[in-house]
Structure 1
Protein backbone atom coordinates (compact mmCIF):
# COMPACT_ATOMS: atom_id res chain seq x y z
CA UNK A 1 0.00 0.00 0.00
CA UNK A 2 1.20 3.48 -0.84
CA UNK A 3 2.80 4.87 2.34
CA UNK A 4 1.42 8.36 1.69
CA UNK A 5 -2.13 7.02 1.47
CA UNK A 6 -1.69 4.73 4.46
CA UNK A 7 -0.10 7.30 6.78
CA UNK A 8 -1.83 7.46 10.16
CA UNK A 9 -0.14 10.47 11.72
CA UNK A 10 -1.77 13.86 12.14
CA UNK A 11 0.86 16.56 12.11
CA UNK A 12 0.97 19.96 13.74
CA UNK A 13 0.80 23.15 11.76
CA UNK A 14 -1.86 21.70 9.46
CA UNK A 15 -5.47 22.67 8.73
CA UNK A 16 -7.61 19.66 7.79
CA UNK A 17 -10.84 20.24 5.83
CA UNK A 18 -13.00 17.32 6.96
CA UNK A 19 -16.24 16.15 5.35
CA UNK A 20 -18.87 14.86 7.79
CA UNK A 21 -22.12 12.94 7.22
CA UNK A 22 -25.17 14.74 5.82
CA UNK A 23 -27.49 12.43 7.71
CA UNK A 24 -26.42 8.83 8.08
CA UNK A 25 -23.65 8.57 10.68
CA UNK A 26 -22.25 5.49 8.93
CA UNK A 27 -21.11 7.72 6.06
CA UNK A 28 -18.23 9.09 8.15
CA UNK A 29 -14.91 7.83 6.78
CA UNK A 30 -12.33 6.05 8.92
CA UNK A 31 -9.83 8.76 8.03
CA UNK A 32 -12.21 11.55 9.05
CA UNK A 33 -12.79 9.88 12.42
CA UNK A 34 -9.05 9.49 12.98
CA UNK A 35 -8.28 13.08 12.07
CA UNK A 36 -11.06 14.49 14.24
CA UNK A 37 -9.89 12.39 17.17
CA UNK A 38 -6.27 13.45 16.75
CA UNK A 39 -6.22 17.20 16.01
CA UNK A 40 -5.62 19.73 18.76
CA UNK A 41 -8.92 21.51 18.13
CA UNK A 42 -11.89 21.58 15.76
CA UNK A 43 -13.38 24.69 14.13
CA UNK A 44 -17.11 24.05 13.70
CA UNK A 45 -19.97 25.95 12.08
CA UNK A 46 -22.28 25.18 15.02
CA UNK A 47 -20.51 23.84 18.12
CA UNK A 48 -23.73 22.43 19.60
CA UNK A 49 -24.59 20.53 16.42
CA UNK A 50 -21.02 19.29 15.94
CA UNK A 51 -20.79 18.45 19.64
CA UNK A 52 -23.58 15.92 19.18
CA UNK A 53 -21.76 14.40 16.18
CA UNK A 54 -18.51 14.09 18.12
CA UNK A 55 -20.36 12.61 21.09
CA UNK A 56 -21.89 9.96 18.83
CA UNK A 57 -18.39 9.15 17.56
CA UNK A 58 -16.98 9.12 21.11
CA UNK A 59 -14.55 11.91 20.19
CA UNK A 60 -13.65 14.58 22.72
CA UNK A 61 -11.73 17.52 21.27
CA UNK A 62 -11.96 21.27 21.98
CA UNK A 63 -14.40 23.12 19.69
CA UNK A 64 -14.12 26.65 18.31
CA UNK A 65 -17.10 28.31 16.64
CA UNK A 66 -16.39 29.48 13.09
CA UNK A 67 -19.42 30.50 11.06
CA UNK A 68 -20.65 33.09 8.55
CA UNK A 69 -20.99 35.81 11.15
CA UNK A 70 -17.55 35.53 12.81
CA UNK A 71 -15.25 33.89 10.26
CA UNK A 72 -13.58 37.10 9.12
CA UNK A 73 -12.74 38.08 12.70
CA UNK A 74 -11.84 34.60 14.00
CA UNK A 75 -9.82 33.21 11.07
CA UNK A 76 -6.61 34.98 12.14
CA UNK A 77 -6.68 33.60 15.69
CA UNK A 78 -7.35 30.07 14.41
CA UNK A 79 -4.43 30.34 12.02
CA UNK A 80 -2.17 31.82 14.70
CA UNK A 81 -2.62 28.63 16.69
CA UNK A 82 -1.87 26.48 13.64
CA UNK A 83 1.22 28.51 12.74
CA UNK A 84 2.38 28.02 16.36
CA UNK A 85 2.30 24.26 15.79
CA UNK A 86 -1.21 23.05 16.59
CA UNK A 87 -3.31 20.98 14.20
CA UNK A 88 -6.93 21.84 13.47
CA UNK A 89 -9.91 20.43 11.59
CA UNK A 90 -12.60 22.50 9.93
CA UNK A 91 -16.07 20.95 9.76
CA UNK A 92 -19.48 22.28 8.74
CA UNK A 93 -22.86 21.19 10.07
CA UNK A 94 -23.02 18.50 7.38
CA UNK A 95 -21.14 17.49 4.26
CA UNK A 96 -18.01 19.07 2.82
CA UNK A 97 -16.96 22.47 4.22
CA UNK A 98 -16.97 25.49 1.87
CA UNK A 99 -19.66 23.99 -0.41
CA UNK A 100 -22.31 26.63 0.42
CA UNK A 101 -20.84 26.57 3.95
CA UNK A 102 -18.29 28.70 5.83
CA UNK A 103 -14.53 28.24 5.41
CA UNK A 104 -13.51 30.20 2.33
CA UNK A 105 -11.96 33.07 4.29
CA UNK A 106 -10.11 30.69 6.59
CA UNK A 107 -8.69 28.59 3.74
CA UNK A 108 -7.82 31.66 1.69
CA UNK A 109 -5.91 33.21 4.58
CA UNK A 110 -4.26 29.87 5.35
CA UNK A 111 -2.92 29.71 1.80
CA UNK A 112 -1.70 33.30 2.02
CA UNK A 113 0.17 32.52 5.25
CA UNK A 114 1.73 29.34 3.89
CA UNK A 115 -0.26 27.01 6.13
CA UNK A 116 -0.63 23.49 4.82
CA UNK A 117 -4.30 22.75 4.03
CA UNK A 118 -5.24 19.06 3.68
CA UNK A 119 -8.60 17.77 2.38
CA UNK A 120 -10.20 14.79 4.08
CA UNK A 121 -12.84 13.87 1.47
CA UNK A 122 -16.23 12.41 2.19
CA UNK A 123 -19.90 12.88 1.55
CA UNK A 124 -21.35 15.95 -0.16
CA UNK A 125 -25.04 16.59 -0.86
CA UNK A 126 -24.02 18.01 -4.25
CA UNK A 127 -22.35 14.89 -5.62
CA UNK A 128 -24.68 12.49 -3.80
CA UNK A 129 -27.72 14.08 -5.43
CA UNK A 130 -26.16 14.17 -8.88
CA UNK A 131 -25.32 10.47 -8.65
CA UNK A 132 -29.00 9.51 -8.44
CA UNK A 133 -30.65 12.27 -10.48
CA UNK A 134 -30.62 10.58 -13.87
CA UNK A 135 -29.50 13.85 -15.46
CA UNK A 136 -26.26 14.42 -17.42
CA UNK A 137 -23.26 14.72 -15.09
CA UNK A 138 -20.46 15.19 -17.62
CA UNK A 139 -20.95 18.92 -17.13
CA UNK A 140 -22.80 20.66 -14.32
CA UNK A 141 -22.97 24.14 -12.80
CA UNK A 142 -23.33 24.44 -9.04
CA UNK A 143 -25.24 27.58 -8.08
CA UNK A 144 -26.00 26.94 -4.40
CA UNK A 145 -28.80 29.01 -2.90
CA UNK A 146 -30.76 31.41 -5.10
CA UNK A 147 -31.91 34.85 -3.86
CA UNK A 148 -34.74 34.68 -1.33
CA UNK A 149 -37.01 37.19 -3.08
CA UNK A 150 -38.95 36.08 -6.16
CA UNK A 151 -37.74 38.94 -8.38
CA UNK A 152 -34.09 38.19 -7.64
CA UNK A 153 -34.63 34.45 -7.97
CA UNK A 154 -36.31 34.77 -11.36
CA UNK A 155 -33.58 37.12 -12.58
CA UNK A 156 -30.91 34.61 -11.53
CA UNK A 157 -32.74 31.76 -13.25
CA UNK A 158 -33.21 33.85 -16.39
CA UNK A 159 -29.44 34.34 -16.62
CA UNK A 160 -29.03 30.53 -16.57
CA UNK A 161 -31.78 29.37 -18.92
CA UNK A 162 -29.45 28.94 -21.91
CA UNK A 163 -26.73 27.10 -19.92
CA UNK A 164 -26.35 23.62 -21.44
CA UNK A 165 -24.89 22.13 -18.24
CA UNK A 166 -27.05 20.49 -15.58
CA UNK A 167 -27.83 23.17 -12.98
CA UNK A 168 -27.59 22.31 -9.29
CA UNK A 169 -29.14 24.35 -6.48
CA UNK A 170 -29.64 24.05 -2.74
CA UNK A 171 -33.00 25.20 -1.40
CA UNK A 172 -34.67 25.57 1.98
CA UNK A 173 -38.00 23.87 2.80
CA UNK A 174 -40.03 27.07 3.09
CA UNK A 175 -39.02 28.22 -0.42
CA UNK A 176 -38.91 24.96 -2.37
CA UNK A 177 -42.40 25.27 -3.91
CA UNK A 178 -41.85 28.93 -4.81
CA UNK A 179 -38.55 28.05 -6.44
CA UNK A 180 -40.05 25.33 -8.64
CA UNK A 181 -42.85 27.69 -9.62
CA UNK A 182 -40.13 30.05 -10.83
CA UNK A 183 -38.35 27.23 -12.67
CA UNK A 184 -41.61 26.52 -14.53
CA UNK A 185 -42.09 30.23 -15.28
CA UNK A 186 -38.54 30.83 -16.53
CA UNK A 187 -37.45 27.47 -18.05
CA UNK A 188 -40.86 26.22 -19.14
CA UNK A 189 -43.06 23.43 -17.85
CA UNK A 190 -41.29 20.73 -19.86
CA UNK A 191 -37.70 21.28 -18.61
CA UNK A 192 -36.64 18.16 -16.69
CA UNK A 193 -36.11 18.58 -12.95
CA UNK A 194 -34.85 16.20 -10.25
CA UNK A 195 -35.08 16.96 -6.53
CA UNK A 196 -33.66 15.04 -3.59
CA UNK A 197 -34.95 15.63 -0.07
CA UNK A 198 -33.33 14.53 3.19
CA UNK A 199 -30.55 12.56 1.48
CA UNK A 200 -29.26 9.56 3.50
CA UNK A 201 -31.87 10.20 6.23
CA UNK A 202 -34.92 8.18 7.27
CA UNK A 203 -37.35 10.13 5.08
CA UNK A 204 -35.16 10.41 2.00
CA UNK A 205 -37.33 11.30 -1.01
CA UNK A 206 -36.93 11.87 -4.74
CA UNK A 207 -39.08 13.90 -7.13
CA UNK A 208 -38.39 13.85 -10.85
CA UNK A 209 -39.83 14.58 -14.27
CA UNK A 210 -40.99 17.61 -16.22
CA UNK A 211 -40.92 20.80 -14.15
CA UNK A 212 -44.71 21.19 -14.05
CA UNK A 213 -45.13 17.59 -12.95
CA UNK A 214 -42.51 17.95 -10.21
CA UNK A 215 -44.35 21.03 -8.95
CA UNK A 216 -47.54 18.95 -8.75
CA UNK A 217 -45.65 16.23 -6.82
CA UNK A 218 -44.39 18.75 -4.27
CA UNK A 219 -47.79 20.37 -3.82
CA UNK A 220 -49.43 16.96 -3.33
CA UNK A 221 -46.90 15.73 -0.73
CA UNK A 222 -47.63 16.99 2.81
CA UNK A 223 -43.99 16.35 3.78
CA UNK A 224 -42.49 18.14 0.78
CA UNK A 225 -41.84 21.35 2.68
CA UNK A 226 -39.71 19.66 5.34
CA UNK A 227 -36.00 18.89 5.20
CA UNK A 228 -33.04 19.84 3.05
CA UNK A 229 -33.30 19.94 -0.75
CA UNK A 230 -30.97 19.62 -3.72
CA UNK A 231 -32.63 20.77 -6.96
CA UNK A 232 -31.18 19.76 -10.31
CA UNK A 233 -32.42 21.17 -13.61
CA UNK A 234 -31.55 19.72 -17.00
CA UNK A 235 -29.43 22.05 -19.13
CA UNK A 236 -30.77 23.79 -22.19
CA UNK A 237 -30.58 22.12 -25.56
CA UNK A 238 -27.40 23.19 -27.41
CA UNK A 239 -27.98 25.80 -30.06
CA UNK A 240 -28.24 24.54 -33.60
CA UNK A 241 -24.89 24.61 -35.33
CA UNK A 242 -26.35 26.75 -38.07
CA UNK A 243 -29.27 29.14 -38.33
CA UNK A 244 -31.93 27.73 -40.70
CA UNK A 245 -31.43 28.94 -44.22
CA UNK A 246 -27.89 30.27 -43.65
CA UNK A 247 -25.22 29.05 -46.08
CA UNK A 248 -22.20 29.29 -43.79
CA UNK A 249 -19.63 28.71 -46.52
CA UNK A 250 -21.16 31.39 -48.72
CA UNK A 251 -21.29 33.81 -45.81
CA UNK A 252 -17.62 33.18 -44.94
CA UNK A 253 -16.48 33.60 -48.56
CA UNK A 254 -18.24 36.96 -48.77
CA UNK A 255 -16.90 38.17 -45.43
CA UNK A 256 -13.35 37.06 -46.21
CA UNK A 257 -13.38 39.07 -49.44
CA UNK A 258 -13.56 42.24 -47.31
CA UNK A 259 -12.17 41.26 -43.91
CA UNK A 260 -9.34 39.33 -42.25
CA UNK A 261 -10.21 35.71 -41.44
CA UNK A 262 -10.31 36.27 -37.68
CA UNK A 263 -12.71 39.19 -37.96
CA UNK A 264 -14.87 37.33 -40.49
CA UNK A 265 -15.14 34.41 -38.06
CA UNK A 266 -16.12 36.71 -35.18
CA UNK A 267 -18.88 38.39 -37.20
CA UNK A 268 -20.06 35.04 -38.51
CA UNK A 269 -20.31 33.69 -34.96
CA UNK A 270 -22.44 36.66 -33.91
CA UNK A 271 -24.75 36.14 -36.89
CA UNK A 272 -25.18 32.37 -36.64
CA UNK A 273 -24.38 31.28 -33.09
CA UNK A 274 -21.78 28.86 -34.46
CA UNK A 275 -18.48 28.64 -32.54
CA UNK A 276 -16.03 31.37 -33.56
CA UNK A 277 -13.18 28.84 -33.58
CA UNK A 278 -15.13 26.45 -35.84
CA UNK A 279 -15.86 29.29 -38.27
CA UNK A 280 -12.22 30.40 -38.17
CA UNK A 281 -11.01 26.91 -39.08
CA UNK A 282 -13.65 26.63 -41.82
CA UNK A 283 -12.68 30.02 -43.25
CA UNK A 284 -9.03 28.96 -43.42
CA UNK A 285 -10.04 25.78 -45.24
CA UNK A 286 -12.10 27.78 -47.74
CA UNK A 287 -9.15 30.11 -48.41
CA UNK A 288 -6.91 27.09 -49.05
CA UNK A 289 -9.44 25.76 -51.54
Structure 2
Protein backbone atom coordinates (compact mmCIF):
# COMPACT_ATOMS: atom_id res chain seq x y z
CA UNK A 1 0.00 0.00 0.00
CA UNK A 2 1.75 3.12 -1.28
CA UNK A 3 -1.11 5.56 -0.76
CA UNK A 4 -0.93 8.06 2.08
CA UNK A 5 -4.09 7.73 4.16
CA UNK A 6 -5.43 10.43 6.46
CA UNK A 7 -8.05 10.28 9.20
CA UNK A 8 -9.71 13.49 10.32
CA UNK A 9 -11.10 12.49 13.68
CA UNK A 10 -9.54 9.89 15.99
CA UNK A 11 -12.67 8.43 17.54
CA UNK A 12 -13.88 4.84 17.67
CA UNK A 13 -14.53 4.38 13.95
CA UNK A 14 -11.13 5.78 12.96
CA UNK A 15 -9.46 3.59 15.57
CA UNK A 16 -11.35 0.54 14.27
CA UNK A 17 -10.41 1.17 10.62
CA UNK A 18 -6.77 1.82 11.49
CA UNK A 19 -6.71 -1.33 13.59
CA UNK A 20 -8.00 -3.32 10.61
CA UNK A 21 -5.57 -1.70 8.18
CA UNK A 22 -2.51 -2.29 10.33
CA UNK A 23 -3.54 -5.93 10.79
CA UNK A 24 -3.98 -6.51 7.05
CA UNK A 25 -1.31 -4.35 5.39
CA UNK A 26 2.29 -4.68 6.47
CA UNK A 27 3.90 -1.43 7.68
CA UNK A 28 0.91 0.62 6.50
CA UNK A 29 1.11 2.59 9.75
CA UNK A 30 3.95 4.61 8.20
CA UNK A 31 1.48 5.87 5.58
CA UNK A 32 -1.30 6.78 8.00
CA UNK A 33 -1.88 10.33 9.26
CA UNK A 34 -4.39 11.43 11.89
CA UNK A 35 -5.77 14.61 13.41
CA UNK A 36 -8.17 15.14 16.30
CA UNK A 37 -9.63 18.05 18.23
CA UNK A 38 -8.59 16.37 21.48
CA UNK A 39 -4.79 16.32 21.58
CA UNK A 40 -4.75 13.53 24.15
CA UNK A 41 -6.89 11.19 22.04
CA UNK A 42 -4.79 11.88 18.96
CA UNK A 43 -1.56 11.16 20.81
CA UNK A 44 -3.05 7.98 22.27
CA UNK A 45 -3.91 6.70 18.79
CA UNK A 46 -0.49 7.68 17.46
CA UNK A 47 1.27 5.79 20.25
CA UNK A 48 -0.94 2.72 19.90
CA UNK A 49 -0.45 2.24 16.15
CA UNK A 50 2.76 4.23 15.54
CA UNK A 51 1.05 6.46 12.96
CA UNK A 52 1.74 10.09 12.06
CA UNK A 53 -0.03 12.81 14.05
CA UNK A 54 -0.70 16.09 12.22
CA UNK A 55 -1.20 19.41 14.00
CA UNK A 56 -3.96 20.62 11.65
CA UNK A 57 -6.49 19.20 9.22
CA UNK A 58 -4.93 21.23 6.42
CA UNK A 59 -1.53 19.67 7.11
CA UNK A 60 -3.14 16.23 6.88
CA UNK A 61 -4.90 17.04 3.59
CA UNK A 62 -1.65 18.24 2.03
CA UNK A 63 0.10 14.97 2.96
CA UNK A 64 -2.52 12.42 1.94
CA UNK A 65 -3.99 10.74 -1.14
CA UNK A 66 -7.03 9.39 0.72
CA UNK A 67 -8.91 11.38 3.35
CA UNK A 68 -11.25 9.63 5.76
CA UNK A 69 -13.78 11.98 7.36
CA UNK A 70 -14.50 10.36 10.74
CA UNK A 71 -16.16 13.22 12.61
CA UNK A 72 -19.63 13.80 14.06
CA UNK A 73 -22.23 15.38 11.74
CA UNK A 74 -22.27 18.64 13.71
CA UNK A 75 -18.48 18.95 13.39
CA UNK A 76 -18.37 18.05 9.70
CA UNK A 77 -19.41 21.54 8.55
CA UNK A 78 -16.48 23.15 10.34
CA UNK A 79 -14.05 20.56 8.98
CA UNK A 80 -15.26 20.87 5.39
CA UNK A 81 -15.08 24.67 5.52
CA UNK A 82 -11.53 24.38 6.80
CA UNK A 83 -10.22 21.97 4.15
CA UNK A 84 -12.31 22.92 1.10
CA UNK A 85 -9.64 25.09 -0.51
CA UNK A 86 -6.91 22.50 -0.03
CA UNK A 87 -8.48 19.32 -1.42
CA UNK A 88 -7.08 18.36 -4.83
CA UNK A 89 -9.08 16.82 -7.66
CA UNK A 90 -7.00 13.63 -7.53
CA UNK A 91 -7.61 13.03 -3.83
CA UNK A 92 -10.24 10.58 -2.62
CA UNK A 93 -12.55 11.59 0.21
CA UNK A 94 -14.15 8.72 2.13
CA UNK A 95 -16.89 9.91 4.47
CA UNK A 96 -18.00 7.93 7.51
CA UNK A 97 -20.27 10.77 8.67
CA UNK A 98 -23.73 9.49 9.54
CA UNK A 99 -26.59 11.08 7.61
CA UNK A 100 -24.39 13.35 5.48
CA UNK A 101 -24.92 12.80 1.75
CA UNK A 102 -22.46 13.09 -1.09
CA UNK A 103 -24.25 16.26 -2.22
CA UNK A 104 -23.92 17.69 1.30
CA UNK A 105 -20.15 17.32 1.00
CA UNK A 106 -19.93 18.46 -2.62
CA UNK A 107 -21.54 21.84 -1.92
CA UNK A 108 -18.41 22.95 -0.06
CA UNK A 109 -16.25 22.68 -3.19
CA UNK A 110 -16.22 24.87 -6.28
CA UNK A 111 -15.40 21.85 -8.46
CA UNK A 112 -16.74 18.28 -8.02
CA UNK A 113 -14.47 15.99 -6.02
CA UNK A 114 -14.06 12.25 -5.70
CA UNK A 115 -16.30 11.44 -2.72
CA UNK A 116 -17.26 8.05 -1.33
CA UNK A 117 -19.94 7.77 1.34
CA UNK A 118 -19.86 4.77 3.68
CA UNK A 119 -22.16 3.32 6.33
CA UNK A 120 -20.44 0.79 8.64
CA UNK A 121 -22.17 -0.95 11.53
CA UNK A 122 -20.91 -1.74 15.00
CA UNK A 123 -19.58 -5.29 14.34
CA UNK A 124 -16.65 -3.63 12.54
CA UNK A 125 -15.03 -3.57 15.99
CA UNK A 126 -14.52 -7.34 15.63
CA UNK A 127 -13.83 -7.06 11.87
CA UNK A 128 -17.17 -8.64 11.01
CA UNK A 129 -19.02 -5.47 10.06
CA UNK A 130 -21.24 -4.71 7.09
CA UNK A 131 -20.11 -1.62 5.21
CA UNK A 132 -22.27 0.00 2.53
CA UNK A 133 -20.46 2.19 0.02
CA UNK A 134 -21.59 4.73 -2.61
CA UNK A 135 -19.43 6.91 -4.84
CA UNK A 136 -19.90 10.21 -6.65
CA UNK A 137 -19.75 10.36 -10.46
CA UNK A 138 -16.10 11.40 -10.25
CA UNK A 139 -15.12 8.17 -8.47
CA UNK A 140 -13.53 5.65 -10.86
CA UNK A 141 -13.69 1.86 -10.64
CA UNK A 142 -10.10 1.91 -9.41
CA UNK A 143 -11.11 4.33 -6.63
CA UNK A 144 -14.00 2.09 -5.63
CA UNK A 145 -11.81 -1.00 -5.63
CA UNK A 146 -9.24 0.80 -3.48
CA UNK A 147 -11.92 1.78 -0.95
CA UNK A 148 -13.28 -1.77 -0.93
CA UNK A 149 -9.77 -3.13 -0.39
CA UNK A 150 -9.20 -0.83 2.58
CA UNK A 151 -12.60 -1.29 4.22
CA UNK A 152 -12.62 -5.06 3.72
CA UNK A 153 -10.12 -5.14 6.58
CA UNK A 154 -13.04 -4.55 8.99
CA UNK A 155 -15.86 -6.48 7.35
CA UNK A 156 -17.90 -7.21 4.23
CA UNK A 157 -18.22 -4.30 1.78
CA UNK A 158 -21.11 -3.76 -0.63
CA UNK A 159 -21.43 -1.04 -3.28
CA UNK A 160 -24.97 0.33 -3.49
CA UNK A 161 -26.89 3.29 -4.89
CA UNK A 162 -26.82 6.14 -2.41
CA UNK A 163 -30.62 6.29 -2.28
CA UNK A 164 -30.50 2.95 -0.44
CA UNK A 165 -28.40 4.33 2.42
CA UNK A 166 -31.47 5.09 4.55
CA UNK A 167 -32.57 1.44 4.35
CA UNK A 168 -29.02 0.35 5.21
CA UNK A 169 -29.20 2.52 8.33
CA UNK A 170 -32.12 0.44 9.60
CA UNK A 171 -31.16 -3.09 8.57
CA UNK A 172 -27.45 -2.74 9.23
CA UNK A 173 -26.77 0.27 11.44
CA UNK A 174 -29.69 -0.18 13.86
CA UNK A 175 -30.28 -3.93 13.67
CA UNK A 176 -27.48 -4.97 16.08
CA UNK A 177 -29.64 -3.39 18.80
CA UNK A 178 -32.73 -5.29 17.66
CA UNK A 179 -30.84 -8.57 17.33
CA UNK A 180 -29.38 -8.05 20.80
CA UNK A 181 -32.88 -7.60 22.24
CA UNK A 182 -33.91 -10.88 20.59
CA UNK A 183 -30.81 -12.61 21.97
CA UNK A 184 -31.57 -11.25 25.43
CA UNK A 185 -35.20 -12.43 25.21
CA UNK A 186 -34.12 -15.92 24.12
CA UNK A 187 -31.67 -15.98 27.03
CA UNK A 188 -34.44 -14.95 29.43
CA UNK A 189 -36.46 -17.91 28.19
CA UNK A 190 -33.48 -20.23 28.70
CA UNK A 191 -32.95 -18.89 32.23
CA UNK A 192 -36.64 -19.54 32.91
CA UNK A 193 -36.01 -23.16 31.92
CA UNK A 194 -33.02 -23.41 34.26
CA UNK A 195 -29.96 -22.61 32.08
CA UNK A 196 -27.31 -20.17 33.42
CA UNK A 197 -27.47 -16.86 31.55
CA UNK A 198 -23.83 -16.83 30.42
CA UNK A 199 -24.27 -20.30 28.95
CA UNK A 200 -27.46 -19.22 27.17
CA UNK A 201 -25.70 -16.23 25.58
CA UNK A 202 -22.92 -18.51 24.36
CA UNK A 203 -25.34 -20.90 22.62
CA UNK A 204 -27.49 -18.17 21.11
CA UNK A 205 -24.59 -16.01 19.89
CA UNK A 206 -22.86 -18.95 18.21
CA UNK A 207 -26.15 -19.95 16.60
CA UNK A 208 -26.45 -16.40 15.19
CA UNK A 209 -22.93 -16.63 13.76
CA UNK A 210 -23.59 -20.06 12.24
CA UNK A 211 -26.95 -19.09 10.76
CA UNK A 212 -25.41 -15.98 9.23
CA UNK A 213 -22.67 -18.06 7.62
CA UNK A 214 -25.25 -20.45 6.17
CA UNK A 215 -27.04 -17.52 4.54
CA UNK A 216 -23.88 -15.72 3.34
CA UNK A 217 -21.40 -18.47 2.55
CA UNK A 218 -23.70 -21.35 1.57
CA UNK A 219 -26.34 -19.02 0.09
CA UNK A 220 -29.14 -20.92 1.82
CA UNK A 221 -32.40 -18.97 1.85
CA UNK A 222 -33.63 -18.08 5.37
CA UNK A 223 -36.97 -19.77 4.64
CA UNK A 224 -35.12 -22.98 3.76
CA UNK A 225 -33.32 -22.93 7.10
CA UNK A 226 -36.63 -22.43 8.88
CA UNK A 227 -38.30 -25.23 6.92
CA UNK A 228 -35.39 -27.63 7.48
CA UNK A 229 -35.47 -27.15 11.25
CA UNK A 230 -39.29 -27.26 11.45
CA UNK A 231 -40.27 -30.94 11.52
CA UNK A 232 -43.97 -31.85 11.14
CA UNK A 233 -45.66 -31.58 14.50
CA UNK A 234 -42.29 -30.76 16.07
CA UNK A 235 -40.91 -28.34 18.63
CA UNK A 236 -39.61 -25.68 16.23
CA UNK A 237 -42.87 -25.28 14.30
CA UNK A 238 -44.68 -24.81 17.61
CA UNK A 239 -42.32 -21.91 18.35
CA UNK A 240 -42.73 -20.50 14.82
CA UNK A 241 -46.51 -20.63 15.29
CA UNK A 242 -46.23 -18.73 18.58
CA UNK A 243 -44.16 -16.01 16.84
CA UNK A 244 -46.55 -15.73 13.90
CA UNK A 245 -49.64 -15.67 16.15
CA UNK A 246 -48.18 -12.64 17.94
CA UNK A 247 -47.35 -10.77 14.73
CA UNK A 248 -43.57 -11.21 14.89
CA UNK A 249 -42.93 -10.46 11.20
CA UNK A 250 -45.25 -7.44 11.04
CA UNK A 251 -43.75 -6.08 14.27
CA UNK A 252 -40.24 -6.29 12.81
CA UNK A 253 -41.43 -4.56 9.63
CA UNK A 254 -42.98 -1.81 11.77
CA UNK A 255 -39.63 -1.42 13.54
CA UNK A 256 -37.99 -0.76 10.17
CA UNK A 257 -40.74 1.70 9.32
CA UNK A 258 -40.18 3.54 12.61
CA UNK A 259 -36.46 3.83 11.87
CA UNK A 260 -37.18 5.27 8.43
CA UNK A 261 -39.66 7.80 9.80
CA UNK A 262 -37.22 8.92 12.50
CA UNK A 263 -34.42 9.30 9.96
CA UNK A 264 -36.59 11.45 7.70
CA UNK A 265 -37.69 13.57 10.67
CA UNK A 266 -34.08 14.17 11.72
CA UNK A 267 -33.17 15.16 8.16
CA UNK A 268 -36.04 17.67 8.06
TM class by shorter chain equals: 0.3 to 0.5
TM-score when normalising by structure 1: 0.32
Question: Which protein has greater RCO, CA pairs closer than 8 Å, 6+ apart?
Answer: 1
Which of the two has higher C-alpha Rg?
A: 1
Which structure has the highest helix share of the two? 2
TM-score when normalising by structure 2: 0.34
